[in-house]
Chains A and B, each alone.
Chain A
Amino acid sequence: MKEELKVVGHNAVRLDILEKVTGAAEYTDDLAFGPNLLHMAVLSSPHAHAKILSIDTSEAEKLPGVHAVLTGKDFPEKFGLYLKDKSIFAVDRVRQVGEQVAGVVASTYEIARNACKRIKVEYEVLPEIHDPYDSIKEDAILIHPDLGNYEIEPWLDAQPGTNIAHLRKIRKGDVEKGFEEADVIVEGEYHIPHVAHTCIETHISVSKFSMDGRLTMWNSTQSPHTQRNIMAHSLGIPHKNVRVIAPPIGGGFGGKAGISMEVMAAAGAKACPGHPVKLRWTREEEFYNSSQRTGLRNKVKMGFKKNGKLVAIKHQMFWDVGASAEYGSNVVNATGFSATGPYYIPNVYIDSYACYTNNPICSAYRGFGYSEFSFGIESTMDRAAKKMGFDPVELRKINAIKEGEGVAYDVPMNPNGLIECIDKVAKEIEWGKEEKSDDPNKIIAKGFASVWKAPAMPANESSSAFIKFSEDGSINVLVSGMDLGQGFLTAMAKIAAEVLGLTLDKVRVELPDTDRNPYEWQTVASHVTWSCGNAVKRAAIDAKNKILDIVQRAHFIDKSQLYLEDNGVKCTTQESFFIPYSDFVITGIQTEHNTWIGGPILGSGMFMPEYTNAMVNPETGLGGHPMVHYTVGAGAVKIEIDKETGRIKVLKMAEAFDLGKAINPDLAKDQIVGGFVQGMGTALWEECIFDEKGKMLNDGFTDYKIPTILDVPRDMNPILVEVPQPDGPYGARGHSEHTMIPVMPAVANAVANGLGVRITDVPVTAEKIVMRMGKPEFMEEKK
């Protein structure tokens, strides 16, 4: 018999909506630290690549109100998540415009800023690199000459003496033979620029070294435990003496994963013990000096049989990771394992290069590289379909990877509903139905894409959870996953409530505090519903077992006859038996002898995937099991294009994702809508534009356009598909990041379908459409 779920799978108002809509939510900048608070400002490099010859801070130090001036010489050690190539403040050399050269802690932010202006830095400008193709040239200047000496994760493959921070290769089957067998080969080259996360809350940290040597940090972060680990290591203090508190976060999207500017606040705090020190990025600093999305130049070659079956792929990806690869190297790694798209291909050749450039540092961004490479793959699928006379949707279905078929690194694919996703999206967008605009200057066109993504994690990432009951039978769930807005708190509450027979109003889930909440690796990779959800489920089962034990001992009813429902314990054989939790979860149960059985109920749970293995053969990418599972999906757009201006209006979207089990269907659909709109921005307008010296020309919302409420289509159709993930809580797997991935190729494919112009470099701007329309080198055959 299928167990009926009472909470999981049902809609609910999100747990944190009241505090957010009433203004009660206290984000980091809203916390009061009293008159002892100091403020920090940072001096940034005006050069993209230069030697630092000297720094004179004497004039800054003289300014009244200045407490400390910090430079790289105070902090020689390197830090980073996967590859320690980053400095707290630049040491000897700057590698991007905006890199922090010095910091000032002062009684007010104004004084700190003024003091920064008094710091004199002498630079010797070096040749600079802004394109990954230039980065890999043999005579290219080395951006990190010490690459060979950096501490690095064993599964990364840095190439000292070059600008390549990591190279991930896949060699499955025989790609040359595959192309020989192919009837049709389609090749193309694509370019994806840097884009920015643009969380509305900029990065912020308040850090304090108390006189007893403890460091406390209040950070807007996705990664409190990872930050604690990095701080403890780099400062050489015990983990127990570093406390990272994560107040509500004003957007993350990967930009607040790992650690970045928080180290500067900690450095400032170390210089001023006893004072909380606040560092809050300006919007310009947020663009330059948090992180951006990786840029990509990639070459895609795919070979098909006449029947549409893919036989080979050669995919070379040259990632522009910017001035540091401390986190971006893992984007390069993860995509290296996955850059086939969601298709079964017997012969796979992938090279994924992490290329240092003198552009802003790139790291995690919703989609973790999959948006970037999928643009080339999905454009190729459409071009191939046209060349072979297949419907593009049909061609995707022919090649859709099935459970058990080998992925690029030749491990069997997990259960998935890709074909169901494709069919549902095609139906919703009315694929194949020609539509005409009433305006003769406008064309209506549709575009399609199917995608996948796996969580990119170290093989031994893990999550843990505590559950504690209170007198009234309510619970607090302690976890260290972060609610970035995706609804994590609500999902965890529902999982706990489901196991414990609680109504949702009895559950609170606490935001991370590394002193109190148990370990979580990071809230990234769209993996916390799955990973932390498993930990919460196990913690709830642990608490449940304790409850059943106590009731069995007190009432002499065998546990097998007891079950949890309606905020208490019931019995299958005695209908009138009911003990509400509020009767015993703290006090225990009183016996007829007036003794007590039980005590405060606590549950704990942990989860780590025990089948993953990142140690593949570096020459083939085979021999390991680097990813836990893939989430698949499809997306389509209907757009209206003005032939005269090139302007695109998105009229309708449909996206379907197989998330295994929707813990909260409403919020899961909201992720699809939000991710689609973020993807739409990157498809149509978003691009960090630099001059030839690496200075960003659009470092504000006036020039860097993100979608407004006027830009989004009225007709948005999120669709959920549920093919259970065997090791997911109630079958769940993540899908929040994935929702962005189909949009860029779906838009470009729609433009090609409507106008015949094939745009191979996003964003698909009106200018590009108008300038390229009718020019043979940009035209492809119309559908």
Chain B
Amino acid sequence: MNHTVKFNLNGSPVEVQVKSNEKLLDVLRDKLGVTSPKFGCGVGECGACTVLIDGLSVRSCITFAVEVEGKNVVSLEGLQADGPTKIQKAFIKNNAFQCGFCAPGFVMSATELIEKNPSPTEEEIRHALAGNLCRCTGYKNIVDAMNEVSQENKEEGR
């Protein structure tokens, strides 16, 4: 069955025809040209497809497109209106990724964390990013970068 879904994507209203069983990830990538969320597993295990729906990080590969009717969907593309965010800058400075395929998902999960908790402890950082798999880095530089963000926010009184 076909549906028309209307939602906000990265700040702009979109309207798209989808099937009942179509996943948000496929609609974003194939119908709307938003390719930062990646296909890694298709069953919500790896976190590469993470986007924010009304500020909450969600696996778009196990979210039906019809579920986002009327909601605000933000992908990595929508975070950077003013250039790389503080989180992205810290990831860049720390060479936080290698192959980079998991990077968009990590940025989204990290963004959700910092929005809720601007200066998290390392323990909180690790728990918030535990659903994002990276096979290359051993996560060290990701944690280092996030610790820097946390420290910076603390110093800025956030």
CB of A723 within 8 Å of the partner chain: no
Q: Name B76-135 residues within 8 Å CB distance of A.
A: 76-77, 80, 84, 88, 91-93, 95-104, 107, 122, 126-127, 129-130, 132-135
- Contact: A674 with B40, CB < 8 Å? no
Which one of B52-60, B64-72, B140-148 is at the interface?
Answer: B140-148
Residue in B42, B97, B101, B127 whose CB lies within 8 Å of A17: B97
A16 to B103, CA, bound (A): 12
Residue in B33, B46, B88, B143 whose CB lies within 8 Å of A21: B88
Name which residue of chain B comes closest to A198, CB basis.
B135
| Most chain A CB inside 10 Å of its own CB: which residue of B80, B101, B132 | B101
CB of A574 within 8 Å of the partner chain: no
Which one of A26-34, A400-408, A436-444 is at the interface?
Answer: A26-34
CB of B137 within 8 Å of the partner chain: yes
| Most chain B CB inside 10 Å of its own CB: which residue of A17, A25, A253, A675 | A17
- Contact: B39 with A280, CB < 8 Å? yes
Name which residue of chain A comes closest to B137, CB basis.
A674
Binary contact readout A114-146 vs B (1 if CB under 8 angstroms, 0 otherwise)? 000000000000000000000000000000000
- Contact: B95 with A701, CB < 8 Å? no
Known: A22-B80, A200-B101, A710-B126. A17 touches B95 (CB 8 A): yes
- Contact: B43 with A700, CB < 8 Å? yes
Name which residue of chain A comes closest to B43, CB basis.
A700
- Contact: A200 with B95, CB < 8 Å? no
A22 to B91, CA, bound (A): 10
- Contact: A701 with B45, CB < 8 Å? yes
A250 to B41, CA, bound (A): 13
- Contact: A17 with B46, CB < 8 Å? no
Q: Name A1-60 residues within 8 Å CB distance of B.
A: 13-14, 16-23, 25-27, 29-30, 32
CB of A251 within 8 Å of the partner chain: yes
Binary contact readout A658-699 vs B (1 if CB under 8 angstroms, 0 otherwise)? 000000001100100111111000000000000000000000
Chain B: minimal CB distance from A29 (Å)? 6
* CB neighbours of A249 from chain B (8 A): 99
CB of A702 within 8 Å of the partner chain: yes
CB of A634 within 8 Å of the partner chain: no
Residue in B41, B76, B134, B139 whose CB lies within 8 Å of A22: B76
CB of B136 within 8 Å of the partner chain: yes
CB of B24 within 8 Å of the partner chain: no
* CB neighbours of A253 from chain B (8 A): 135
* CB neighbours of A29 from chain B (8 A): 29, 35, 38-39
Q: Name A195-227 residues within 8 Å CB distance of B.
A: 197-202
Residue in B43, B80, B130 whose CB lies within 8 Å of A283: B43
* CB neighbours of B135 from chain A (8 A): 197-200, 251, 253, 678, 706
Chain A: minimal CB distance from B130 (Å)? 5
- Contact: A674 with B136, CB < 8 Å? yes
* CB neighbours of A252 from chain B (8 A): 99
Chain A: minimal CB distance from B5 (Å)? 18
Chain A: minimal CB distance from B90 (Å)? 9
- Contact: B133 with A27, CB < 8 Å? no
Residue in B35, B40, B102, B136 whose CB lies within 8 Å of A202: B40
Bin the interface of chain A by size: 35 or more
- Contact: B137 with A670, CB < 8 Å? yes
* CB neighbours of B11 from chain A (8 A): none
Bin the interface of chain B by size: 35 or more
Known: A22-B84, A200-B40. A485 touches B136 (CB 8 A): yes
- Contact: B100 with A25, CB < 8 Å? yes
Chain A: minimal CB distance from B65 (Å)? 14
| Most chain A CB inside 10 Å of its own CB: which residue of B33, B75, B76, B103 | B103
CB of A507 within 8 Å of the partner chain: no
Chain A: minimal CB distance from B4 (Å)? 20
CB of A708 within 8 Å of the partner chain: yes
CB of A531 within 8 Å of the partner chain: no
Chain B: minimal CB distance from A28 (Å)? 11
A356 to B36, CA, bound (A): 41
Binary contact readout A251-294 vs B (1 if CB under 8 angstroms, 0 otherwise)? 11100000000000000000000000000101100000000000
* CB neighbours of B45 from chain A (8 A): 283, 700-702
A282 to B45, CA, bound (A): 13
CB of B13 within 8 Å of the partner chain: no
- Contact: B133 with A200, CB < 8 Å? yes
CB of A651 within 8 Å of the partner chain: no
* CB neighbours of A21 from chain B (8 A): 84, 88, 91-92, 96-97, 100, 103, 107
CB of B48 within 8 Å of the partner chain: yes
Binary contact readout A442-471 vs B (1 if CB under 8 angstroms, 0 otherwise)? 000000000000000000000000000000
Chain B: minimal CB distance from A743 (Å)? 11
- Contact: B41 with A201, CB < 8 Å? no
* CB neighbours of A198 from chain B (8 A): 135
- Contact: A709 with B130, CB < 8 Å? yes
Known: A199-B99, A200-B133. A716 touches B88 (CB 8 A): no
CB of A308 within 8 Å of the partner chain: no
* CB neighbours of B41 from chain A (8 A): 283, 700-701
- Contact: B42 with A250, CB < 8 Å? no
Residue in B35, B99, B101, B139 whose CB lies within 8 Å of A709: B139
Offer 17 A-B interface pairs, CB within 8 angstroms, sorted by A. A13-B93, A17-B91, A20-B99, A20-B100, A20-B103, A23-B76, A23-B103, A27-B38, A248-B99, A250-B99, A485-B137, A667-B95, A674-B98, A701-B46, A707-B138, A710-B126, A716-B138
Q: Which 3 A-B pairs have the closest CB atoms?
A: A485-B98, A20-B100, A250-B101
Can you name 5 extra interface pairs (CB under 8 A) apart from A200-B99, A201-B38, A674-B136? A16-B100, A17-B92, A29-B29, A200-B102, A709-B130
